[in-house]
Amino acid sequence: MEPGTLSTFLKRGAIWGFIVVELLFFSIAGEFLSLSDKAFMDMDNMLLLFKQSAPIGIIAIGMTIIMINGNIDLSVGATFALSAVVLLDSMTWPVFAGLGDGVIPIAWGLALLTGIVLGALNGLIVWKTGVDAFIVTLGSMLGYRGLVFMYNGEQPTSHLNWTLVDFAEAHFLGLHTATWFLIAVTAVVWFVMNRTIHGRNAYAIGDNRTAAINAGIRVGPHMMINFMIIGFLASLSAVVFYSESGSVNPNDGELYELWVITAVVLGGTKLTGGAGSVLSTLGGVIAIQLLRKGLGHIGADTETVNLVIGLILIAVLFLDRQLNLKGKQELRI
């Protein structure tokens, strides 16, 4: 075996192993602690879990490529909210009156376009100014959220279209619509990152930017494309979620960026860029959702759930560090 293969394998497989441990733990602990007598690993419960994972999950897939690329995007929560406002509000615009359900694809298109434009704006600023993505998207996080509030003040934006609700609540082969979107996004992005030139260049840029520039890779456009992808995915997430709920509060999507980053990091993507996998991110998303549901199942409240997730995140990063340093005879701090 090549050196490093074992630790790579452990890291890749770790998140799935963690999920198995969670399942076993909550199943057994649930026998003793749960208030309901339903088993934790109930089919409906698991299907619901996938569906609930979708909004964060779809964005997390996008965040994975941003972080592999060596950037970060803190504005996804605000993009999510603004796209949701555009989606719901545009269906009530007088211009589209009389289209009936024909307004649905238009509203979707406008919402998705919003995400792409906001992402492109982030990417363009990062590319052209050279300011760190953390700072740029910290600014746009505040700015985009400001737009949400400007749109409707503190009031929620609501519009329920029953065709849309039916579509969102539909099942296909047992899985919810939202779950299918998550699966499709994962598959497509996996293909982009592993099979296309853009994807491989994104890895190279995140790994060693100087080398990429010296090799003539056009770093800026690649970064901008990735920001457009994550913008698109943030709005896709909003489209999937709000098609069903039909009402968006101006505060919706707050802290999403942090949950998304948590899932990506839990899945083993390097904060410094260059390494990571969308499949492992999917694992990270499921692991967090399992943890929330499982802790709820055994009677813990929300505060406890957050505390536990925080501790686990730190523990996982510590473990990752140990695996990376193994055999390298670490220097003391």
Partner 1 sequence: MTSATPALRLEGIVKTFPGVRALDGVSFSVLPGEVHALMGENGAGKSTLMKVLGGIYQPDEGKIIVSEQPVVMTSPLQAKSKGIVFIHQELSLAEELTVAENIYLGELPRKSFGRVDWPKLHEQTNRILETLKVGFDARTRVGDLSIANQQMVEIARALTVEAKAVIFDEPTASLTDAEKVVLFDVIDNLKAEGVGIIYISHRMEEIFRMTDRISVLRDGQYRGTLNTAETSEDEITQLMIGRKLDLSRNAVHHELGDVALEVRGLSCGKLFRDISFEVRKGEVVGFYGLVGAGRTEIAETLFGLREPSSGTILLNGEETVFHSPADAIAKGISLVPEDRKAQGLVLGMNCRDNMTLPQVDDLKAGPFVAEGAEIAIFDQYRDRLDIRTPGWKQLAGNLSGGNQQKIVIGKWLSMHPSVLIVDEPTRGIDVGSKSEIHNLIRDLASQGYAIIVISSEMPEVLHVSDRIVAMYSGEIIRTFTSEEVTEDNLIQAISGIRPEKAA
Q: Greatest CA span in the chain, whole angstroms?
A: 71
Judge whether 182 and 57 are in contact, CB under 8 Å: yes
Residue 233 and residue 261: Cα distance in Å, rounded?
14
Residues 6+ apart with CB under 8 A from 184: none
Q: How many C-alpha atoms does 280 have within 13 Å on its Cβ side?
A: 24
- φ/ψ of residue 158, rounded to 5: -130, 140
Residue 298 and residue 315: Cα distance in Å, rounded?
22
- Does 188 help bind partner 1 (rule: CB under 8 A)? no
- Does 274 help bind partner 1 (rule: CB under 8 A)? yes
Nearest approach in angstroms of CB 195 to partner 1 is 5
Query: What are the tokens at 174?
Result: 């047992």
Residues 6+ apart with CB under 8 A from 316: 14, 18, 265, 266
Residue 94 and residue 199: Cα distance in Å, rounded?
42
Interface with partner 1 in residues 191-210 (CB under 8 A): 195-198, 200-201, 203-204, 207-208, 210
- Does 214 help bind partner 1 (rule: CB under 8 A)? yes
Residue 49 and residue 67: Cα distance in Å, rounded?
25
- Does 331 help bind partner 1 (rule: CB under 8 A)? yes
Which residue's CB is nearer to partner 1, number 97 or number 197? 197
Interface with partner 1 in residues 88-127 (CB under 8 A): none
Residues 6+ apart with CB under 8 A from 67: 206, 261, 264, 269, 270, 271, 273, 276
- Does 322 help bind partner 1 (rule: CB under 8 A)? no
Nearest approach in angstroms of CB 139 to partner 1 is 25
Task: Tell me how many residues contact partner 1 (CB under 8 A).
Answer: 28
- Does 70 help bind partner 1 (rule: CB under 8 A)? no
Nearest approach in angstroms of CB 232 to partner 1 is 17
Q: Which of 215, 271, 315, 325 binds partner 1 (CB under 8 A)?
A: 215
Which residue's CB is nearer to partner 1, number 8 or number 249? 8
- Does 217 help bind partner 1 (rule: CB under 8 A)? yes
- Does 10 help bind partner 1 (rule: CB under 8 A)? no
Nearest approach in angstroms of CB 212 to partner 1 is 7
* Binding residues vs partner 1 (CB under 8 A): 2-5, 8, 195-198, 200-201, 203-204, 207-208, 210-217, 274-275, 329, 331-332
